[in-house]
Amino acid sequence: MRRSINDSSLIVSMNPKSPISEVYRLLRTKIHFASKDQALKTLMITSTQAGEGKTTTISNLAVTYTQEGKKVLLIDADMRKPSLHRVFSQPNHQGLSTLLMGQTSVEDSIQETIIDQLFLLPSGPIPANSSELLDSVVMRELLELFKQQYDVILIDTPSVLSVSDSVIVSALCDGVVMIVASGKVRKDHLKKAKEQLDHVNARMLGIVINKDVK
Ligand SMILES: Nc1ncnc2c1ncn2[C@@H]1O[C@H](COP(=O)(O)OP(=O)(O)OP(=O)(O)O)[C@@H](O)[C@H]1O
Ligand SMILES: [Mg+2]
């Protein structure tokens, strides 16, 4: 069944020529240069606090990668407040949580989306122990498998200061991009988030200032 997408969130797909879509493509280019020729297959997006634009940014970024011919896997590792399935109007009965618990197979958990070459691993039902599920050998092995099957793997996560999940995932990724809602984030919170990511040697590629309406 072909599904629709939540067009208000996915501007790069709905209106690829718009200036906003151009900004997402610029972000893709900047990420490429920030990686300084080191391998960059698994990329995670996070923020200091909730609602700064992580899901919106990673969804549009994923589409820009498909537009340059890449096969992309988008993973919803925000298993506490999942939302990527809503952006793509897909079901969420199975996904990362059921895969990590051994209840579903990779094939059953990953879905095609309406966008060619863009695949979605939704969060699956909210588990009681998302940190433990993410901090596991199974999660590491899955990422290694996905690296062989996809050109780019993009991972949406919760905010850094709310739970440890994003710090755990950052240690497994090649790079981290931090979304900062313009004028909404305290400097000391940003510093604390950066310290937590540095603590696990996460590779911070840069910061996106989002929702800057000036
Ligand atoms: N650049 C932007 N300009 C205007 N609105 C935006 C922008 N980016 C995101 N938003 C809006 O801000 C709200 C929160 O965005 P989003 O869900 O992407 O944030 P999030 O960081 O993933 O939130 P959560 O922490 O709840 O997962 C949404 O209503 C989204 O449409
Ligand atoms: Mg989100």
Ligand approaching nearest to the C-alpha of 54 = 1
**Closest residue (by CA) to atom 9 of ligand 1?**
53
Return mean pLDDT, the chain: 93
3-12, 15-24, 116-125: which has the minimum mean pLDDT?
A: 3-12
- Tell me the CA–centroid distance for residue 106 and ligand 1, in Å: 29
* 177 CA to centre of ligand 1 in angstroms: 15
Residue 14's pLDDT band, with cuts at 50, 70 and 90, is confident
User: Tens digits of per-residue pLDDT, 59-104?
Assistant: 999 999 999 999 999 999 999 999 999 999 999 999 999 999 999 9
- Residue predicted with more confidence, 39 or 16: 16
Give the closest residue (by CA) to ligand 1 atom 12.
Answer: 53
Ligand 1: nearest atom to the Cα of 49: 25
Distance 194 CA to ligand 1 centre (A): 21
Q: Where are the domains of the chain?
A: 11-210
CA dihedral 93, 94, 96, 101 (to 10 degrees): 120
Pocket of ligand 1 (CB under 6 A): 9, 47, 50-56, 78, 81, 83, 159, 210-211
Question: Which ligand neighbours the alpha carbon of 27 most closely?
Answer: 1
The mean pLDDT of 174-183, rounded to a whole number, is 94
- Cα–ligand 2 centroid distance for 44 (angstroms): 12
Instruction: Output the residue whose Cα is nearest ligand 1's atom 1.
Output: 211
Q: What's the CA angle centered on 52, arms 178 and 191, to 5 degrees? A: 45
In angstroms, the CA 130 to CA 102 distance is 14
Percent of the chain, pLDDT > 70? 96
Strands (E), the chain: 42-47, 72-76, 111-112, 118-121, 152-156, 175-181, 204-210
Nearest in space to 58 (alpha carbons), one of 169, 193, 188 = 169
Q: In this structure, which topology does domain 11-210 adopt according to CATH?
A: Rossmann fold (3.40.50)
For range 175-181, the mean pLDDT: 95
HSE-up of residue 153 (Cα within 13 Å, Cβ side): 25
